[in-house]
Amino acid sequence: MIYRLLYNLLIHLGLPLALLALYKPKKGKPGFGKRWAEHLGRAPATGQEAPLWIHAVSVGETLAISPFIRALKAEQPSLPILLTTTTRTGAEQAAKLGDLVVHRYAPLDYPWAVSAFLATFKPRALWVMETELWPNWLAACEARHLPVTILNARLSERSCQRYARFLGAFDALSRPLTHLLCQHQDDADRFHRLGIGRERLAVTGSIKFDIQFGDEVQARGRALRQQLGQDRPVWIAASTHQGEDEQVLAAFDRVLKVHPSALLILVPRHPERFARVAELCAPYGCVLRTAGSAVGESDKIYLGDTMGELPLMLAAADLAFVGGSLVKIGGHNLLEPAALGKPCLTGPAYFNFSDITRQLVAQGGAAVVADADALGDKVITLLGDAGARRQMGEQARAVVLRNQGALARTLSHCLAALEND
């Protein structure tokens, strides 16, 4: 109880800063419009009776959960689903599910906001995509006897050690969790080390492995490659962060000395950074995707300044570096390029995706580069060796295929939970 009191005191003191961070206008980042009050629990009712509440915080989680929702609705077509996201980009992705779900923005973790949300919607259960644990959400669900299931649950060693320092707080946080469907055995073992009983744990795999790109993505990727230059070397740096773009460009300087016709597709992680990154790239000759301009031989960078088009840009490239890993963000998921059969590169700070990365590296589908110089050298090597690229890409895709099936396992557990909880 003391932990929650302290937590609530701190978050209420920080409320102005939280609202400023969420609603401050940012160039290139869409706002929430009239729906901003939904974050405070003031969301319009849906007319659904006892919906299943599924939460996916942002666009990545919403992309991952969408095939699961489609499979769930195929099994339970009359099941009402309330899908919440925190971000606007997540909401835009949720809209692609059409009438399979009703979307609302999730309440911020203030007791009064959560209570208002639950009073309006009266959900039958809460399913959370990945380990998004909010104390007041969970306490409110426990008080109302709502089952809580974590899908695609993961817990890094770093986070496990942090929680271990405050076991009392973690016990209070985890007590309302009915089921944790873990991505890997390592995740389940870490949760167990923190005191969660094996009866609440299951290893279902990561549903992100069940990623499939249809013919349309491949066709659009081929068309983009034709536009960029079929015969020139093309590599992509995807989901880069502040402080990382400069390192990628330093690596590119090395690449250009050996492969002067090379083209870099650069895709920043956050849309509010598009303009700043475009300024960094201008000296190289930079074409913005939104501009729709032709890419000339003198243009060296193609800036992916759109949302939701990363797969087709990956499909157009010869190899992929995935960002958030040359800076201490923890990396991003290598599965999209791997599923497309692309050689995968990551920096050393990949701790948020350690299991996936280790599998890919062990099978020769990915490589870890220590810094910008090492990144440049690895790109130089791979761009100059089509056979090595082909083998590395095939190994990457084989890892993805070998791990598929998590969606079916997760669905099986969740359908059983609907019947038994």
Residue 300 DSSP SS3: coil
Residue by residue, DSSP assigns 343-409 as: -EEE-S--GGGHHHHHHHHHTTSEEE--SHHHHHHHHHHHHT-HHHHHHHHHHHHHHHHHTTTHHHH
Residue 21 CA, distance from chain mean position = 20
For residue 60, give every residue at least 6 positions away whose Cβ sits within 8 Å of its Cβ, in sequence order, or none: 333
Q: Which residues pair with 268 in a beta bridge?
A: 240
- Which token pair is 415? 């359908």
Dihedral, CA of residue 372, residue 377, residue 381 and residue 382, to nearest 10: 0
Helices (H) and strands (E) in the chain, counts: 18, 14
Four-residue CA torsion sign, 324, 126, 411, 212: negative
Active site includes 199? Answer: no
CA 108, CA 23: separation in Å to the nearest integer? 13
Continuous segment of H or E residues that includes residue 204: none
CA 363, CA 209: separation in Å to the nearest integer? 16
CA 404, CA 32: separation in Å to the nearest integer? 36
Q: Among 38, 61, 244, 336, which one carries the catalytic annotation?
A: 61
Dihedral, CA of residue 60, residue 62, residue 65 and residue 70, to nearest 10: -140
Contact between residue 93 and residue 59 where contact means Cβ atoms under 8 Å apart: yes
Contact between residue 179 and residue 123 where contact means Cβ atoms under 8 Å apart: no
Q: Which of the residues are catalytic?
A: 61
